[in-house]
Homo-oligomer: A and B are copies of this chain.
Amino acid sequence: MTDKKIIPMSDDIEIPPRRPLTLRDVSEASGVSEMTVSRVLRNRGDVSATTREKVLKAAKALGYVPNKIAGALASSRVNLVAVIIPSMSNMVFPEVMTGISEVLDDTPLQPVVGVTNYLPEKEEEVLFEMLSWRPSGVIIAGLEHSDASRAMLRAAGVPVVEIMDVDGEPIDAVVGISHRRAGREMARAIVKSGYQNIGFLGTKMPLDHRARKRFEGFTEALAKEGVEVMDQEFYSGGSALAKGREMTDTILKRSEDLDFLYYSNDMIGAGGLLYCLEKGIDVPGRIGLAGFNGVELLDGLPRKLATMDSGRREIGREAARIIAGRSDGSITEGGQRVELTPKLEPGMTLRRYR
């Protein structure tokens, strides 16, 4: 009340309040204490209807926006959930985000996204940055992290949900599918349909652990059937659809006997499909095709590509549910493990027999 700053000002009637508004301003405007204003604005404690309205009117008139920074510091409660994903341009992660938002929208929590570009060092940076805001929980893609990252996550003292993948040792909770198993099942389905000369097309994957695990599961299951991957082709960067075409062209020219192509994602698979149809190749008679993810886009293709739905949206929802539950106290234990089952969608490109 004492240190009212004197600011030299023009004669304008309407002085735009250059100093940002605080509770104090609202309290002065409404004639009650800051504490009461705080209570009104958070609907907490008993405040008489009269005071409540007086305060709300003043706050609205001034255009007061509470300062969450100060609030968070005082209450040591931050309603943010850190979400750390490798990429935004993949269509997969926006869908996960959608699932997360759907659930968090019904809670006081808010997601904040960080992108790592599949780089462990970047992940470490982003994680450090996010943890320094003391979020109420962390949702992070994958189970592979640097030692420093794992240490940070463990030390953060908040719920951590690793998503997408369940093949590995989680730090706390996990929600995802088994990519190895997804690869295995696809391999079996392919062989069962009578294909024998199988090619694999995917990303250059040293850092895409999930693609790698799918490939491992795939080759492993093929091996059990006495089949080996006949040829492979990898790409990085560029329009996935166009790359799918190019790679398909390359691999088919190189290995003419191929009768099945397994793509590590739907986008390149779609490119391959378009390529084959254009070339008049009989799909799935002469060659079968399959992708991975179950993206919506497939519904619009000339022929439905075989794929395996990775349940991205549901993964997001489950992860958010765990964080929300633990944060509001309705879940007390940690370490939950939710394995979703990827569903094989044979579409029209995987069914030589029957």
Task: Spell out A's residues near B (CB within 8 Å).
Answer: 16-18, 20, 63, 65-70, 72-73, 78, 88-89, 91, 94-95, 97-98, 101, 110, 112-113, 115, 128-129, 131-134, 151-152, 155-157, 238-245, 270-271, 274, 278, 296-302
Q: Name which of A91, A155, A240, A274 has the most chain B CB atoms within 10 A of its CB.
A: A155
Nearest-Cβ distance from residue A211 to partner chain B, whole angstroms: 19
Determine if A88 and B97 form an interchain contact, defined as CB atoms under 8 angstroms apart. yes
**Cα distance A310–B113 when bound, in Å?**
25
Q: Given A91-B91, A300-B271, does the pair A69, B63 have CB atoms closer than 8 Å?
A: no
Determine if B65 and A152 form an interchain contact, defined as CB atoms under 8 angstroms apart. yes
Determine if A300 and B73 form an interchain contact, defined as CB atoms under 8 angstroms apart. no
The one of B69, B128, B302 that contacts A69, using a Cβ cutoff of 8 Å: B69
Residues of chain B with a CB closer than 8 A to A133's CB: 68-69
Nearest-Cβ distance from residue A259 to partner chain B, whole angstroms: 23
Interface of A is mostly: helix
Determine if B63 and A300 form an interchain contact, defined as CB atoms under 8 angstroms apart. no
Determine if B239 and A299 form an interchain contact, defined as CB atoms under 8 angstroms apart. yes
The one of B78, B132, B134, B245 that contacts A300, using a Cβ cutoff of 8 Å: B245
Nearest-Cβ distance from residue A296 to partner chain B, whole angstroms: 4
Nearest-Cβ distance from residue A171 to partner chain B, whole angstroms: 14
Copies of the polypeptide in the assembly: 2
Q: Given A241-B301, A242-B299, does the pair A65, B132 have CB atoms closer than 8 Å?
A: yes
Smallest CB-CB separation from A88: which chain B residue? B94
Which 10 A/B pairs are nearest by Cβ-Cβ distance? A241-B300, A242-B300, A239-B296, A242-B299, A239-B299, A68-B132, A88-B94, A271-B300, A63-B155, A69-B73
Can you pick out 16 interface pairs between chain A and chain B where the beta carbons lie within 8 Å of each other?
Answer: A17-B155, A65-B132, A65-B155, A69-B69, A69-B73, A69-B78, A69-B133, A89-B98, A110-B129, A113-B113, A241-B300, A242-B299, A243-B300, A245-B300, A270-B300, A274-B302
Residues of chain B with a CB closer than 8 A to A274's CB: 300-302
Nearest-Cβ distance from residue A61 to partner chain B, whole angstroms: 11
Residues of chain B with a CB closer than 8 A to A132's CB: 65-68
Determine if B20 and A157 form an interchain contact, defined as CB atoms under 8 angstroms apart. yes
The one of B97, B128, B296 that contacts A65, using a Cβ cutoff of 8 Å: B128
Residues of chain B with a CB closer than 8 A to A242's CB: 299-300
**Cα distance A155–B113 when bound, in Å?**
26
Residues of chain B with a CB closer than 8 A to A301's CB: 241, 274
Residues of chain B with a CB closer than 8 A to A20's CB: 134, 157
Q: Name which of A65, A73, A241, A278 has the most chain B CB atoms within 10 A of its CB.
A: A65
Nearest-Cβ distance from residue A47 to partner chain B, whole angstroms: 21
Nearest-Cβ distance from residue A336 to partner chain B, whole angstroms: 21
Determine if B241 and A18 form an interchain contact, defined as CB atoms under 8 angstroms apart. no
Residues of chain B with a CB closer than 8 A to A69's CB: 69, 72-73, 78, 133-134
Determine if A98 and B91 form an interchain contact, defined as CB atoms under 8 angstroms apart. no
Residues of chain B with a CB closer than 8 A to A241's CB: 296-297, 299-301
Nearest-Cβ distance from residue A327 to partner chain B, whole angstroms: 16
**Cα distance A311–B124 when bound, in Å?**
31
Residues of chain B with a CB closer than 8 A to A155's CB: 16-17, 63, 65
Residues of chain B with a CB closer than 8 A to A63's CB: 151-152, 155
